[in-house]
Chains A and B, each alone.
Chain A
Amino acid sequence: MAEARTFQLSMSPHFGSPQSTRRVMYDVVIALLPALAGAVWLFGFGGALLPVLLSVAAAVAAEFVCLRLMGRSTSAALDGSAIVTGILLAYNVPPGVPWWLPVLGSVFAIVVGKQAFGGLGSNLVNPALLGRAFLMASFPVLMTAGWSAPFEWRNPSAGFGTSGIPAAQVSALPEADAVTGATPLRAWKDSFGIDEHEGAAVRENLSTPGTYMNLLTGRRGGCIGETSIVLLLLGALYLFVRKVLEWRIPLAYLGAVALFGWILGGPGFLEGDALFSVLTGGAVLGGFFMATDMVTSPVTRRGRIIFGIGAGLITIIIRRWGGYPEGCSYSILLMNLATPLIDRFTRPRMLGEVRKHA
């Protein structure tokens, strides 16, 4: 009879799926690339590519240094998660900002937003969004004014006229030239502060098929990564196919943005523009790539829906009544904080469980 042989012991299951955290993270990186191409097309190499590259480099370097200082394996710096944070941070700053701004934001995002909490998986809020909030608080002027308009890099003298925003609307804006590159969302928000009729005219101008088309293709002012809706959707589609993205959060978020945009986003009740709400600002970028950040969003299915709806509602409230025209990132940050609580109260009904109240 054969000699007895011995083997290594281990726990079941002894079989694993080919999924890995690294693969998930790099899939997200890949999904974000079309929007980068769009950003370069709109804002040029200096306006879009350079900030993104610098931001990524800073994020990875910061991650590396933190891991080294804590005596952990530095190979985790390349697990893809820092790259994602770097890209997202850069996507959330305006094109044409000084190069050090995204670098500073990325370092803050990694050091304070991620490593201070214990590294990958332990952070409460999305590091990139925290980094952006930090930049907003520290450099409000750089973060909100002086945006470069689409294609300005090719034709610096063209100014506002080629930005894809209908000229009529531009002239309707007070002090138009002071806000070169104003975003449609800013124009929309400011329309509430001016004469009632003028404001209504501006909003009407913003609700034309032409504007929607420009918004879809990205021919409008906005942060580096948020404008090219079509390309963002392409990336999201890739993540769906790769089973990295689950539909609940994006659908709940964008659905809520549309719904509450319609209910609350106009001058009166039920007078808002649902489509405009979804297509402007960072709603699409946020809905597919930031609200869906796995670490900081709920794990339960009902929780994900509640999370998305909550963030959508807060986005609209900030846009309409807040100090900034854009509420996407703050709304997600706020819901991030609620995530542990949401998870706790949305435990699914177990198989065979009879709930007394449900």
Chain B
Amino acid sequence: MTRLRTFPGGAHPDECKELAEKRAVKRIPAPETVRVALCQHLGAPSTPVVKKGDKVTRGQEIGSQNGFISLPTHSPVNGTVAGLEEAPLPHRRSGPVVVISTESEGGGPAFEPWPDFESRTPAELIERIKLAGVCGMGGASFPTYVKLSPPPGKKIDTLLLNGAECEPYLTADHRLMIERTEDVAAGMRILARALCVDDPAVGIEDNKPDAIEAFGKAGIRVEVLRVKYPQGAEKQLIKAVTGREVPVGGLPLDIGVVVQNVGTAAAVAQAVRDGEPSLRRIVTVSGGGVREPGNFDAATGTPFSALIAEAGGYGDDVARLLSGGPMMGLAQFTDAVPVTKGTSGIVALTSKEARRLTEGPCIKCAKCVDACPMKLVPCLIAANSENEKWAAADELGALNCMACGTCSFVCPSDRFLVHYIKRAQDMIRASKRSKEA
């Protein structure tokens, strides 16, 4: 038995994976109307290149890349542009959206497929990944091609695929890994070639033995990780697998590492090998608030409500609707928001499942301190934030908080630690900006 790798700190939330982990991915047709966000990736939203009334085909560019940290956006369907508008989105209050009336979903590949990707140069591969609009599918939605283009002088020696999927309820990556092992494996080879890395590995938590086995059979190096939240956080994954620590304020590439989500790898394979832009993704719909949890392959622009309907509709008690898992996901005020490339899951929590909304005083039990995977002192940062002592919060390393929520999760007083720390981060950043100006 291989040693289970992990990182210091962390917590063990109920996994709740059993609700959806056995449900095979079901491909659902695009709805009558899709609302495709132009800001599905981190960075500048793409610039719309279609107008109301335009006919669009599946895979056609409807938004063009707008700067280095940006991506083009493509239409997931054949249809007619019904309008351009500002609409609520799952990851931000609102953003520019292209509304398209769906006519059909068929058609050939948008780009020339490259089944012979091994003969392409890294530059060609990276260009294709960019043109296909591939961004991180694990949550942060960072443009993938940027991560593959390290500044000159930085040598990348390690590529890690992130298959940890440590958020409770979410099983999309798990299903992907066992149902589309070949896609992930191909994507991994493409990414390794783009980075000139020899021996890439995938990290998987040991609650997914079938995924571990599938990759093992496919001849991929698997690093088995202990089940612990947030094992899938980039820095924690790197620490667990390589023992290296990403320097404070730095990036994984500073220590020669690139991490890509397994979903991203599959999207890369589709883009390069099959000539398919990033148009769809697997979304877990789960939580006690839906009747038939499952995993669905949905077009971007599909409203959450349509996926909930696929999952048998809401149960009697839905206290909160989340985009993403319960630890880092974002609460939604409406289920009219559309699926984006970064939508890993839609979770409807009952009032029993959801965390209490009243907080008590900090009893300094230090549970948050022992659990923080960044080795911060959350209770003290939060106390300074509450007292508006921003400089003291900064000194305690508030900016290094990745908002993983572990501290709030373990707090017996249900303190809103993440909220206080995020507020401190905003204030510290603002004061740093004003000092520079």
Query: Given A7-B318, A350-B376, does the pair A14, B354 have CB atoms closer than 8 Å?
Result: yes
Smallest CB–CB gap between A207 and chain B, Å?
A: 37
A121 touches B363 (CB 8 A): yes
Within 8 A of A (CB), among B399-437: 400, 403, 405-406, 408-414, 416, 418-419
A5, A11, A295: the one within 8 Å of B363 (CB): A295
A122 touches B361 (CB 8 A): yes
Interface membership of B353, Cβ < 8 A: yes
Contacts of A296 in B (CB 8 A): 364
A14 touches B364 (CB 8 A): no
Within 8 A of B (CB), among A269-314: 294-301, 304
How many Cβ-Cβ contacts under 8 Å join chain A to chain B? 193
A3 to B334 Cα, complex, angstroms: 10
Chain B: which residue is nearest A339 at the CB level?
B364
Interface membership of A141, Cβ < 8 A: no
A16 to B406 Cα, complex, angstroms: 9
A20 to B363 Cα, complex, angstroms: 11
B363 touches A301 (CB 8 A): no
Interface membership of A168, Cβ < 8 A: no
Within 8 A of A (CB), among B359-409: 360-367, 369-370, 373-377, 379-380, 396-397, 400, 403, 405-406, 408-409
How many residues of B are counted as interface, with CB atoms below 8 angstroms from the partner's CB atoms?
A: 77
Smallest CB–CB gap between A139 and chain B, Å?
A: 31
Encode contact with B along A1-32: 1 for CB under 8 Å, 0 otherwise.
Answer: 11111111111111111011101100000000
A304 to B366 Cα, complex, angstroms: 10
Query: Given A19-B412, A350-B248, A350-B376, does the pair A12, B13 have CB atoms closer than 8 Å?
Result: no
A9 to B357 Cα, complex, angstroms: 11
B318 touches A351 (CB 8 A): no
A21 to B414 Cα, complex, angstroms: 9
A9, A122, A297: the one within 8 Å of B333 (CB): A9
Interface membership of B277, Cβ < 8 A: no
Smallest CB–CB gap between B41 and chain A, Å?
A: 21
Chain A: which residue is nearest B369 at the CB level?
A299
A353 to B248 Cα, complex, angstroms: 5
A3, A16, A299, A350: the one within 8 Å of B380 (CB): A299
A299 to B356 Cα, complex, angstroms: 24
Within 8 A of B (CB), among A339-358: 343, 347-354
A15 to B369 Cα, complex, angstroms: 18
Contacts of B374 in A (CB 8 A): 350-351
B303, B347, B413: the one within 8 Å of A1 (CB): B303
A115 to B180 Cα, complex, angstroms: 61
Chain B: which residue is nearest A3 at the CB level?
B305
A298 to B366 Cα, complex, angstroms: 8
Interface membership of B239, Cβ < 8 A: yes
A351 touches B355 (CB 8 A): no
Contacts of B31 in A (CB 8 A): 1
Interface membership of B110, Cβ < 8 A: no
Q: List 30 A-B contacts (CB under 8 A).
A: A1-B309, A3-B305, A6-B333, A6-B334, A9-B331, A9-B332, A11-B331, A12-B329, A12-B403, A12-B408, A13-B326, A13-B418, A14-B322, A15-B326, A17-B11, A19-B411, A20-B412, A119-B361, A120-B361, A121-B361, A246-B370, A294-B365, A348-B375, A349-B375, A350-B376, A350-B397, A351-B8, A351-B239, A351-B373, A352-B400
10 smallest A-B Cβ distances: which pairs? Answer: A13-B405, A16-B355, A121-B361, A15-B326, A4-B336, A299-B366, A19-B412, A352-B245, A14-B326, A2-B305
Further contacts, 19 of them, CB under 8 A, given A6-B335, A23-B412: A2-B305, A2-B308, A4-B336, A5-B335, A6-B333, A7-B319, A7-B332, A11-B418, A13-B406, A13-B408, A16-B411, A16-B414, A19-B411, A79-B360, A121-B360, A121-B361, A348-B376, A351-B375, A353-B375
